[in-house]
């Protein structure tokens, strides 16, 4: 039934690559109503349905959360969390199983998904123009995260978010996000993307030099604590974990 639902979505013209911001050239979001209906029919949570059926990477979200947990990202039980581009909320849902923040802010440009997350998880949806965290005060967030976002937007959009992420993170807080760095782009991965990935969306995925991220965040008082690879599409993306100095 799951594969049948996927075929139905494809025949209906729905894109199964998630985007939270069309500044990256990806014009379609995962359709809200059709995806929720299909997940219910498959007997899965929305997040697990997207991982298992739509993306063909079962357990991918949980594996990332498990890695972050092993690194101690949730050990301090962050009181305030901010997520950029949560989309369907698959990382949000699993984050809330690891910690119990008093406030969880989201910046999501797809209104139906944002409303769904507010209703389902009680998070606070902030108004967003797609590259700023302006409504959030300086130094007010314990954990800032973004998953599968910065490989779907332009270099300038991602860079503007980087400055904002450092601004809103409190001293001692953590910043977590993934980017497609050179670590993910050996010849075999490049061939896989060129021959199998990005159908209809030549701007996805967008690459970002690892050294650019590490050096930039260092100038913003944030040091790289850890990194690991996570599955994405036909290859992988690199998750970076930064700590902001006191």
Residue 72 C-beta-side C-alpha neighbours within 13 Å:
7
Stated length of the chain: 246
pLDDT confidence bin for 207, thresholds 50/70/90? very high
Antiparallel, parallel or unpaired: β 80-84 and 141-146:
parallel
Helices 210-219, 155-168: crossing angle, 10 deg rounding: 30
* Measured torsion, CA atoms of residues 37, 53, 98, 166, in degrees rounded to the nearest 10: -100
Residue ranges per structural domain of the chain = 2-54, 60-244
- Here the tokens at position 13 are 């013209």
Q: If you ran DSSP here, which 8-state letter would residue 126 be given?
A: P
Integer Cα distance of 63 and 165 in angstroms:
24
Say what percent of the chain tops pLDDT 90. Answer: 73
Integer Cα distance of 160 and 155 in angstroms:
9
What would the pLDDT profile of 146-197 be if each residue is shown by its tens digit?
Answer: 999 999 899 999 999 999 999 999 999 999 999 999 999 999 999 999 998 8
Integer Cα distance of 211 and 143 in angstroms:
22
Helix (H, G, I), strand (E, B) or coil at 245: coil
The CATH number given to 60-244 is 3.40.50.150
Residue 197 C-beta-side C-alpha neighbours within 13 Å:
20
Contact between 76 and 142 (Cβ < 8 Å) = yes
Contact between 175 and 147 (Cβ < 8 Å) = no
pLDDT score of 29 = 60
pLDDT confidence bin for 16, thresholds 50/70/90? very low
Mean pLDDT of 39-44: 93
Helix (H, G, I), strand (E, B) or coil at 114: helix
What would the pLDDT profile of 74-107 be if each residue is shown by its tens digit?
Answer: 998 999 999 999 999 999 999 999 999 999 999 9
Integer Cα distance of 220 and 239 in angstroms:
19
Asked if the model's pLDDT at residue 2 lies above 80, the reply is: no
**pTM, rounded to two decimals:** 0.87
Q: What's the chain's Rg over C-alpha atoms?
A: 17
Q: ∠ CA 144-219-69 to the nearest 5 degrees?
A: 30
């Amino acid at each position: 039934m799951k594969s049948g639902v996927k075929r139905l979505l494809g025949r209906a013209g729905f894109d199964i690559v998630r985007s939270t911001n069309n500044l990256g050239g990806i014009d379609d979001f995962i359709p809200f109503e059709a995806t929720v209906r299909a997940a219910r029919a498959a007997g899965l949570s929305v997040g697990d349905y997207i991982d298992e059926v739509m993306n063909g990477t079962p357990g991918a979200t949980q594996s990332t959360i498990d890695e972050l947990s092993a690194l101690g990202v949730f050990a301090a039980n962050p009181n305030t969390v901010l997520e950029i581009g949560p989309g369907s909320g698959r990382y949000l849902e699993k984050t809330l199983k690891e910690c119990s923040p008093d406030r969880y802010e989201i910046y999501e440009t797809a209104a139906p998904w944002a409303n769904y997350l507010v209703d389902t998880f009680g998070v606070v949806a902030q108004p967003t123009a797609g590259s700023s965290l302006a409504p959030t005060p300086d130094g007010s967030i314990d954990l800032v995260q973004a998953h599968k976002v910065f490989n779907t937007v332009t270099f300038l959009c991602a860079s503007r978010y980087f400055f904002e992420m450092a601004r809103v993170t409190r001293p001692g807080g953590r910043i977590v996000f993934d980017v497609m760095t050179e670590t993910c782009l050996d010849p075999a991965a490049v061939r896989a993307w060129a021959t199998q990935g990005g159908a209809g969306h030549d701007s996805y995925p967008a690459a970002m030099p690892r050294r650019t991220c590490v050096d930039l965040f260092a100038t913003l008082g944030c040091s790289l604590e850890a990194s690991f690879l996570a599955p994405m599409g036909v290859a992988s993306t690199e998750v970076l974990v930064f700590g902001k100095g006191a």
